[in-house]
């Protein structure tokens, strides 16, 4: 027998999903990255010593998985290590407390992208519509339980994503742009893309 509580729960979920669908109209559509722009982006190391690197130098030999404001992919680190593919993270702000919290849940090197090329070419923000999306609340709840909230103030409202980039001229093998906070990349698709990177140094390197 269907209970009143069960019926109310189902109706509530339907309404929330309807609101989430409605807010899709207000989301900025992503524009896909240009490899040349990413390659020439200057990235700075975070931590005690601030070194500058052309982004291309980080993946030109073995490719890389680049996470933009994300931490969930750390669970794949061992599998990426078996493939000899580095796991990197890019952030837009070098704020001590938030960055320290991020590093607790990310196993890899973290770089600062001051020009925010990895967030473009069309930067996307999630403002008031975030409060109407079921997925956002679910992701915030999971993040709170794990003890990682990140920075939701000011520019913390910018959406990120994930790239799998091959060495040499192989280019971008996978590009995932968040539709909302905590919108996870398909991990199986990510590994499939990573396995397209040939073993050993790229040709001519």
Tens of pLDDT, residue by residue, the chain (205 residues): 457 676 666 665 555 555 555 556 556 677 888 999 999 999 999 877 788 999 999 999 999 999 886 656 777 888 999 999 999 999 888 776 667 767 777 777 889 999 999 987 877 766 555 555 655 556 566 655 655 555 444 445 778 889 999 998 899 999 998 877 667 788 899 999 999 999 866 554 4
Say if pTM beats, i.e. exceeds, 0.75: no
E strands, the chain, are 42-45, 52-54, 64-68, 87-91, 109-112, 161-165, 172-177
Q: What is the DSSP letter of 27?
A: S
């Amino acid at each position: 027998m269907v209970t009143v509580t069960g019926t109310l729960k189902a109706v509530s979920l339907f309404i929330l999903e309807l609101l989430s669908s409605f807010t899709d109209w207000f989301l900025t559509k992503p524009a896909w990255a240009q490899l040349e722009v990413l390659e020439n982006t200057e990235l700075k190391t975070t931590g005690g010593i601030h070194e500058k690197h052309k982004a291309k130098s980080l993946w030109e030999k073995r490719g890389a998985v680049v996470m933009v404001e994300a931490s969930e992919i750390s669970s794949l680190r061992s599998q990426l290590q078996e493939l000899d593919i580095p796991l990197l993270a890019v952030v837009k702000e070098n704020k001590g407390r938030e960055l320290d919290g991020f590093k607790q849940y990310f196993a890899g090197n973290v770089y600062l992208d001051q020009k925010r090329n990895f967030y473009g070419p069309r930067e996307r923000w999630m403002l008031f519509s975030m409060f109407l999306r079921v997925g956002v609340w679910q992701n915030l709840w999971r993040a709170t339980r794990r003890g990682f909230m990140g920075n939701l103030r000011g520019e913390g409202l910018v959406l990120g994503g994930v790239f799998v980039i091959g060495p040499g001229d192989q280019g971008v093998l996978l590009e995932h742009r968040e539709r909302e906070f905590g919108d996870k990349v398909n991990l199986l698709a990510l590994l499939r893309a990573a396995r397209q990177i040939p073993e050993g140094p790229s040709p001519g390197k």
